Amino acid sequence: YCRSCLRLVSEIVNTMFNKRTCCLLLGVTDRDLSCVVSSLVQLMCDSHYRTITGLESLVQKEWIAMGHPFTSRSGLVTEDSTEDDEGNLIFWRYTDCTREVE
């Protein structure tokens, strides 16, 4: 998962910089993946987001403000999560990807 996300993000970042263009993410079927990709692109493009303060603001902006259901997906507050396992792991997978970004 991490490798495929980072490959996609790398292609987006290269396209943005080499062609000096913008990118529009359309996540009609997978809103979670759009959140991951958007966050990782910003992390790779802006060194501010590679600081503790920047990472906090990125999570606030892209995850919390966009309504990511941390409570129902973490399994920490309720044991009977209605989300599938893939959805439950999405934020943890994002954090794994951030660890891979140098």
Q: Which helix (DSSP H) or strand (DSSP E) does residue 8 occupy?
A: helix 2-18
pLDDT tens-digit profile of 48-95? 999 999 999 999 999 989 888 877 766 655 555 455 555 567 888 899
Q: Is 101 helix (H, G, I), strand (E, B) or coil?
A: coil
pLDDT tens-digit profile of 3-51? 999 999 999 999 999 999 988 887 656 667 888 999 999 999 999 999 9
